[in-house]
Amino acid sequence: MRTRHTRFLMTGATVLAVGIVTPVVASQQADNDSGFDLVSANGAKWPGGGAAAALVEHGDDLLGPASSLLVDNGPLVTTKDGGCNNSDVSELQDNNMNAESMGYACHEEYGYHLADDFSLDDHCELHTITLYAFQPDSDANQSPISSVRLRIWDGPPNEAESTIIYDGWEGMTLLENTFSDIYRARRSNPGSCENPIMKLVLDMKDEAIKRGDGYWLEYMIDGSRNLAGPYTPPVTEAGTPGSGNALMYDGFEGVWVECYDQGGDWYDDMPFQIHGDHLSVYLSSSGTCPGLFEFNALTDVPFSQVAFIYGLRSGSAGPVPGCTGLYVDILQPTLIDVVSADGSGMATLRGTVPPAACGRVRVQAIDLTNCGTSNVIITN
């Protein structure tokens, strides 16, 4: 693992890395509308750049591509326009496959949770997670759902060695809480209006997760206490038996159980989608602010040249010298240093963060060899 050490200081409104980054005084800033010169005091430079290379600030239209669909855990609609009031319908396969499970309990009132696994093929920055739930006899025009709790594990939540890597159990921000235009009904009665399914879009606030298998999403939903549920309808495909491994925490028994459809004799999955951006570099940090911090940038290619930059404001700046069309997510960024990654693709930077910088300094890594950027970390 290749490692560099530095120390951050806060001087007025400018963050300086003492002994690493050349200070930019007020007169220099006034003459340089395009941003800070990206050259470090110890001689580290951008390829083809040097002291004259700078990143130009841009508007929000260059902050990055629109969210991509990262994970789709399975279909829900069985017949388009085939349900109540010509809405889509998710049909329990009752009269053809003996299925019995209209939905699985996830209601907060009695402590029921649901969990299901997913994988990420790339390092990713998560923007939203979309869940689905219904409460029987609710009004399609007014969602009965009031709140959602969610967390992500690095393994099954019922195994002691699994660890929570994202914790939204205090409550998630709901970006959308509306009728999905899908009803849950029996195949034997597809026009039933009893179970309008709500679409719940949760704000993941650009949470970064590295590529990997075996992640588990766990959630609990609160709704109207005057109605049964909430319940999540399982992944449903017409004429096809379930083949999932979702889990339900039984709030009465205090145990995890498999989501098993007894009539159909199969195990179910839960439908959800994850949207976000693909990352070329996964940046993580450890430490206590104020105090010693360690930043680890994991790239796709061994021995890459990795630049660490920092600044006080989010935004878009670029292009990165030597990387046509590549923009960073920090306004007026300053180069801390360029570090060579090791054989596993990991580059590490260590530094001491003083109290004045806590919660203010933004750090990002750039793979200069392969022209890609990481997520942004705030030193908290």
Q: 160 and 230: one domain?
A: yes
For residue range 318-339, what is the model confidence (pLDDT) as tens digits? 999 999 999 999 999 999 999 9
Segment 258-264 shows an average pLDDT of 97
Q: 61 and 92: one domain?
A: no
pTM: 0.84
The pLDDT value given to residue 380: 86
Say if CB 283 and CB 208 are below 8 A apart. Answer: yes
Helix or strand run (H / E) with residue 7: strand 2-11
Residue span of the structural domain in which 26 resides: 2-65+279-378
Q: 156 and 294: one domain?
A: no
| End-to-end Cα separation, the chain, in angstroms | 24
CB atoms within 10 A of CB 281: 25
Last residue of a domain, one of 225, 241, 271: 271
Last residue of a domain, one of 271, 290, 320: 271
Q: 339 and 263: one domain?
A: no
Segment 99-121 shows an average pLDDT of 97
Q: 352 and 285: one domain?
A: yes
DSSP for 35-95, please give it: --B-BBTTS-B-TT-GGG-B-EEE-GGGS-PPPEEEEE-----SBTT-SGGG-EEEEE-HH
Q: 128 and 262: one domain?
A: yes
Helices (H), 244-324: none
Whether the predicted pLDDT of 207 surpasses 90: yes
Whether the predicted pLDDT of 64 surpasses 60: no
Segment 180-200 shows an average pLDDT of 98
Last residue of a domain, one of 253, 271, 289: 271
Q: 292 and 363: one domain?
A: yes
Q: 326 and 304: one domain?
A: yes
Q: 217 and 323: one domain?
A: no
Task: Return the amino acid letter for 283.
Answer: L
Domain count, the chain: 2
Segment 95-104 shows an average pLDDT of 96
Segment 30-53 shows an average pLDDT of 38
Q: 46 and 136: one domain?
A: no
Mean confidence (pLDDT) of the chain: 86
